[in-house]
Structure 1
Amino acid sequence: MSTKDVPDTPLEDAYLLRAEDVREPPTTLRGRLRHLGPGIVLTASVVGSGELLVTTSLGARAGFVLLWLVIVGAAVKVWVQMELARWAILNGKTALAGYSTIPPKIGRMGWINWLWIGLDIAKNFQRGGVIGGAAAAFSILWPIVGEPLSGSSLTTWAVIVTALTVGLLRSNRYSVVETITTWSVALFTLITVALVLALPFTPFAYSAGDFGDGLSLAIPAGTVGLAVAMFGSTGVGADDMTNYTYWCLEKGYARWTGADDGTEERARRAEGWIRVMQLDVFVSWLICTVTTLSFYVVGASVLHAQSLVPEGNQVITTVSRMYTDTLGPWAEALFLVGAICVLFSTNIASAAAVPRLWTNTLGLMGVIDWHDVRVRARVLRILTVCLPALWLVMYLFVRSPLVLMQIGAIATGIFLLAVLIAVWRLRSTEVDARFKRNGWLTVAFVISSIAITLLAVYTVMEVVGLDLSGA
């Protein structure tokens, strides 16, 4: 992915459609590949918290039987992401701006915006868990202060991780975020996939029968809560779909398309840049799915066979058994380096996206002028410091990465249904019929909507404590 097309000062022009920024879209696969990027940033926010910790824990507890849920969780949500991104490109607006038009309104914003605020408060726990996971990996690899995983060591590393994150994002450049996340995701994905391919040559080999059991559509007793958390945190979540529109705008897809002037030329450009976005979504979905399956398979093959289930701050140590038990003790350092890469890149992606969303929210509330570039940049800089510091406090208060991330994951699952409602409304009112002519994409979106609705209802019923087993 090339970053030469990415503006160094994204907030100056990223959300403004000007005639001089219009570009013709690429017409070849190679040309489209050169303009990918937002999906990789999104992948960094997905791979790490959900895949490394929650999905691995699910595999360790349930074995192969919930493999199907990993596949469904990654597949059903991507079509909603694509629909929302298409709307953003055609209208040059952020997801939160779109949500604010969905009735009923509460004050200056729509009800979904207020729901997002509630979600984001809950997600602070999950982001604290990412910092804690990275701190735990650093603590095992190089304790600095005290013993590995001791309170002093974890606190020291959590502070260092937070400070590094803030330092790297001082410029708030999209190109910086894209570069860091691309290399991190590539490194850890290759390590994890290689481990899965090596499993058949170890005492923890899987079989075709294991995969057959995993596709049986069963949910064993005792795994429902973790399964719901996994669905909320693996694959593209509602908050990730929302974030993706900001990355698409800052990459330039909407600017290069230009404002809607009703001409055939603009419609043709829009179709071209939407195809680029769709390829970007597909590539990120493929990486997320392969990585998620890899984590689950290794957890089911290695940890489940030994009745090892990650808990508390020992989650990193337990998960590292996947590597040491198959490749030898030397692999622990390799795993820890990879874990640091993926968790740190997840933290980077969150610390880059969330301040943007809160700045946009303050604009929608009327607290600031979102269209004033200098005000927007100043608020963004402040939030880029304050929010990661808040996540650090969240981690230091709870001290359990897995619990923190499950709290945020359940909240994400509930918010997903609200985003689906918004996407259907925006699709029907603000997307021209010309851009909805692809029948198979429409069918996929409908199927995705049905699956998300059923799973969201299931999640809510579980959260309120209803017994769905019929017992």
Structure 2
Amino acid sequence: MQEPITGQRNTSWKMIGPGIVVAATGVGSGDLVATLVAGENYGYALLWAVIVGCIVKISLAEATGRWHLATGKTIFDGWRSLGLWTFVFFAPYIVIWGFVYGATAMSATALPLAAMFPAVPLPVFAVIAGISGLVFVWFNQYPVFEKVMTVLVGVMFVTVVGLAVYLVPNLGDMATGIVPTVPDGSLFNTLGLIGGVGGTITMAAYGFWVNAKGWRDSTWIKMMRMDNRVAYITTGVFVLAMLIVGAELLRPMGVALADGDQGLITLAEVLRDEFGPVVSILFLIGFFAAAYTSLIGVWHGVSLMFADFVRKLRGQPSIPVEERETSKEFRAYLIWLTFPPMLLLILDEPIQLIIAYGVLGSAFMPFLAFTLMWLLNTRHTPKEWRNGIVSNVGLAIAGGLFLVLCVNDIYTRITGAGG
């Protein structure tokens, strides 16, 4: 039986770490672009959606961390206890997701570098980004990884949040955005903004980072909860900063962003024209920090997950994180994330693979929310650590939201229709 809440360890700001890691990994260039577009199209009207998105992700990450700490097991132990079907879903997901995401992460990291150094082809920077991420994660373990992520978050804060402050946001308009409204034609943009605030598979990686920090049992749950709240408040600040930039800079100018990560390059060009090259370069540095933290975060966190997944697939027990970081399974997935995806940098994207990637990816979040809800309400979890009303409501909202987004995404990808 796990210790009750009275046996909790003291919390300390100095001990915060996994939350910073999951926040930095979850906030990628795609999140920044989506929020910029929301600000550009609707001003501050969807500010409330950013707040709801952070609350939803707090519920999910807290549930993941609590499972690991309250049971002493990993999420794969929990999924395996629900039946082999969970592994049948997850096996192709982690393989296909890693292949496509590897190329996406490398390209996103290369974009700001290519913008700053246009003489160097983008694929060269993409390859350098991938290999540097592999080398860093291969030869360093969690303590060093966390410190580097924290430094990069600091760079993001100074550049991205600094830009928002520099633009002097209209506080009155921001206050009106706290009241929930859904502008005409913005329903799925709104749901996507809520669902996209910080992370997909990295939500499940949070429990592994919690263990890597040395938090191994229920006495750390209070500290984990504090760490998790800091993580998504940090996420909210970054996303709010991009909403401000969209509302205060792009909306008045009527600038239409380019699709995908290229939209941030468009923003850098606008900043150069409006405020000069220094502001533009500082933003590109922040863009790079956001993209590279996502890259090395996935290289580390999802490789930890893959190593544990393979062991559970073989019926083997978990091993300490320190051993998992040097295991052949961990390093095999690092290689999978880095080298095979380089083919996508030079070849046309195979449409069937991209569709499979999108479908599996959109299905993962409802899968995570609903399986956690089941595990944390049943005999799988010690009674004193099972869900309360707040956690159940949070997970139910998260699961329902992501299920709607999943169905819309699948429909859109298959039919080509707008959502």
The interval holding the TM-score normalised by the smaller chain is: 0.7 to 0.9
More divergent stretch after superposition (49-58 vs 85-94): 49-58
Query: Which of 180, 194, 210 in structure 1 is aligned with 2:148?
Result: 180
Equivalent in the alignment of 1:340: 288
SS, match of residue 64 in structure 1 = coil
More divergent stretch after superposition (223-232 vs 419-428): 223-232
TM-score normalized by the length of structure 2: 0.84
Residues 453-468 of structure 1 mapped to structure 2, 5 A cutoff:
453-465=399-411
Equivalent in the alignment of 1:377: 327
Task: Verify the 8 A CA contact 2:156 2:286 in the aligned structure 1.
Answer: yes
SS, match of residue 392 in structure 2 = helix
Q: Deviations over 1:49-92 (max 9, x none)?
A: 34323322333344333222222112123113212211211222
CA distance in 1, matches of 2:335, 2:98: 17
CA distance in 2, matches of 1:405, 1:442: 39
Task: Verify the 8 A CA contact 2:324 2:330 in the aligned structure 1.
Answer: no
Equivalent in the alignment of 1:15: none
Residues 235-274 of structure 1 mapped to structure 2, 5 A cutoff:
235-237=198-200, 239-254=201-216, 257=217, 270-271=218-219, 273-274=220-221
Equivalent in the alignment of 1:356: 304
Change (3 A) 1:411 1:70: farther
CA distance in 2, matches of 1:232, 1:327: 33
CA distance in 2, matches of 1:369, 1:316: 44
Residues 426-445 of structure 1 mapped to structure 2, 5 A cutoff:
426-427=375-376, 428-436=378-386, 442-445=388-391
Change (3 A) 1:57 1:114: farther
Residues 76-225 of structure 1 mapped to structure 2, 5 A cutoff:
76-102=56-82, 105=83, 110-120=84-94, 121-122=96-97, 124-145=99-120, 153-200=121-168, 206=170, 208-209=172-173, 211-213=175-177, 215-221=179-185, 223-225=186-188
Task: Verify the 8 A CA contact 1:131 1:161 in the aligned structure 2.
Answer: yes
Q: Post-superposition shift, 1:119?
A: 3.6
CA distance in 2, matches of 1:398, 1:122: 17
Task: Verify the 8 A CA contact 1:135 1:154 in the aligned structure 2.
Answer: yes
CA distance in 1, matches of 2:260, 2:402: 27
Task: Verify the 8 A CA contact 2:93 2:360 in the aligned structure 1.
Answer: yes
Task: Verify the 8 A CA contact 1:69 1:217 in the aligned structure 2.
Answer: no
Task: Verify the 8 A CA contact 1:127 1:405 in the aligned structure 2.
Answer: no
TM-score normalized by the length of structure 1: 0.76
SS, match of residue 76 in structure 1 = helix
Change (3 A) 1:236 1:101: same
Residues 308-347 of structure 1 mapped to structure 2, 5 A cutoff:
308-311=256-259, 314-321=262-269, 323-324=271-272, 327-347=275-295
Unaligned stretches of 5+ residues in structure 1: 1-23, 146-152, 258-269
CA distance in 2, matches of 1:309, 1:167: 34
Task: Verify the 8 A CA contact 1:193 1:291 in the aligned structure 2.
Answer: yes
CA distance in 1, matches of 2:372, 2:336: 31
Q: Post-superposition shift, 1:162?
A: 1.0
SS, match of residue 390 in structure 1 = coil
CA distance in 2, matches of 1:41, 1:290: 15
Change (3 A) 1:375 1:48: closer
Equivalent in the alignment of 2:398: 452
Q: Post-superposition shift, 1:214?
A: 6.3
CA distance in 2, matches of 1:398, 1:215: 44
Residues 42-53 of structure 1 mapped to structure 2, 5 A cutoff:
42-53=22-33
Q: How many residues align?
A: 399
SS, match of residue 170 in structure 1 = helix
Change (3 A) 1:343 1:251: same
CA distance in 1, matches of 2:358, 2:227: 24
More divergent stretch after superposition (91-100 vs 179-188): 91-100
Q: Post-superposition shift, 1:355?
A: 1.7
Q: Deviations over 1:255-287 (max 9, x none)?
A: xx4xxxxxxxxxxxx33x111111110111110
Change (3 A) 1:290 1:210: closer
Higher alpha-carbon Rg: 1
Equivalent in the alignment of 2:197: 234
Change (3 A) 1:307 1:144: closer
Equivalent in the alignment of 2:365: 416
Unaligned stretches of 5+ residues in structure 2: 1-6
